[in-house]
Structure 1
Amino acid sequence: MRADENLEYHLARLLILLHHFGKPKSKGLDGLTKLAKLDFLLRYPSFTDHLLSSRGASWPLGCEPNADELNAVESRMIRYKYGPWDHRYFSLLGRLVGYELAETVNGKGRISIRLTEKGDALATQLAATSDWRITYERSEMLRRNFNLSGNKLKQMIYESLPDAVDRPHWEAI
């Protein structure tokens, strides 16, 4: 990971996402594919907006993206193999484990990750701040609408968002 990237931002976002999908003492969030696809939906609201509409769902009141957010830099991405920034997941998850904020558990043939009590408490503290409240609410919306296996999420994204996936790896979308 380059030193100029905002490490704390990515770690905080993953903590909040895991708060909804990998609570302490749970089976955890099962697999890197599911994490990457959920994080994709969290980070790129223009794509999420399309998927919500196709499922007959909508954004919860107060956390729908505005026009500026739909066109912001965070809404642009590079096509990677697993997600918008797959090469960084290992480093970020390793940091969460190293800081004792998350732990790995054996999943269904894959590694699952879940928060520790310390990580869950930090995610709850972050969610109480104005900077992270919408991320928290959107993560909850993802749990309600997209709590599927990594493979099912991948299939849904590939079928519903061909502009995002029908490109060579490393190409800008």
Structure 2
Amino acid sequence: MKSLSRLGTRPASLPLAADDVLEFHAARLLLLMRICGTAGRMDGLTKMAKLDFFTRYPDFFEAARAAVEPESQSGSVDSSEAVEASMVRHHYGPWDKRYYQVLAHLEARRLITVSKFKNSYQIALTTEGAEMAKALAKRPSFATLVERQKAVKKSFGGKSGTALKNLIYKLFDEEVGKRTLGQVIMK
């Protein structure tokens, strides 16, 4: 994964996937904290990863929402898009090995703060991070992501990371729970 600033020497004829760009992941996480967090704060890496999982895998989100909220309007989130950035099976469910790099990138740019609270980490937007997330949310290119995150927040924003992890293992044991550690989670 490279920063856009380091791709200047890359030949223009080579395809570039969003998954390869650090800033793409950083923008998605800034939006996740703003939209799915509590007052621009995410309580725990597990919760962040599970909400991000539902954002990145709309088909799994729709299935989980239907299981938890049978009366909800299923299909209101566009799930026709391919998963742009896959996740892997980790000890606590879906995970992205790039999280630490992306969070360090955001913290170094003073867009977030990361602090230890009891046995977990709180990730919070700084004033600059909140302004950046607000600006990103207004861009048409992020409209689908923003709508999906709003739906994820409505359905699962009030749950703890552990509750979300348990829900994912219960509903998606075959697709997530039975995968070997490090194996990519397929759509």
TM-score bucket (shorter structure): 0.7 to 0.9
Is the partner of 2:163 in helix, strand or coil? helix
Residue 115 of structure 1 aligns to which amino acid in structure 2?
A: L
Matched with 1:160 is 171
Residue 17 of structure 1 aligns to which amino acid in structure 2?
A: L
Q: Distance in 2 between matches of 1:78 and 1:45?
A: 16
Q: Superposed, which structure 2 residues align to 1:56-135 within 5 Å?
A: 56=70, 57-58=72-73, 61=76, 64-67=77-80, 69=81, 72-74=82-84, 77-82=87-92, 84-135=94-145
Q: Distance in 1 between matches of 2:154 and 2:60?
A: 17
Pick which of 41-50 and 162-171 moved more: 162-171
Deviation at residue 80 of structure 1 after TM alignment: 3.2
Change (3 A) 1:128 1:59: farther
Change (3 A) 1:171 1:104: closer
Change (3 A) 1:73 1:42: closer
Change (3 A) 1:158 1:95: same
Q: Distance in 2 between matches of 1:139 and 1:51?
A: 14
Residue 38 of structure 1 aligns to which amino acid in structure 2?
A: L
Larger radius of gyration: 2
Is the partner of 1:38 in helix, strand or coil? helix
- Structure scoring higher RCO (CA < 8 A, sep ≥ 6) equals 1
TM-score by length of 2: 0.78
Give structure 1 regions of 4+ aligned residues with deviation exceeding 6 angstroms.
Answer: none
* Alignment deviations for residues 24-72 of structure 1 (CA, whole Å, 9 cap, x no partner): 5xxx2111111111111100111111101112233585xx2243x1xx2
Preserved contact between residue 53 and residue 87 of structure 2 (Cα < 8 Å): no
Q: Distance in 2 between matches of 1:86 and 1:49?
A: 21
Change (3 A) 1:23 1:105: farther
TM-score by length of 1: 0.84
Preserved contact between residue 44 and residue 75 of structure 1 (Cα < 8 Å): no
Matched with 1:30 is 43
Greater share of residues in strand: 2
Q: Which runs of 5+ in 1 are unaligned?
A: none
Matched with 1:45 is 58
Residue 81 of structure 1 aligns to which amino acid in structure 2?
A: H
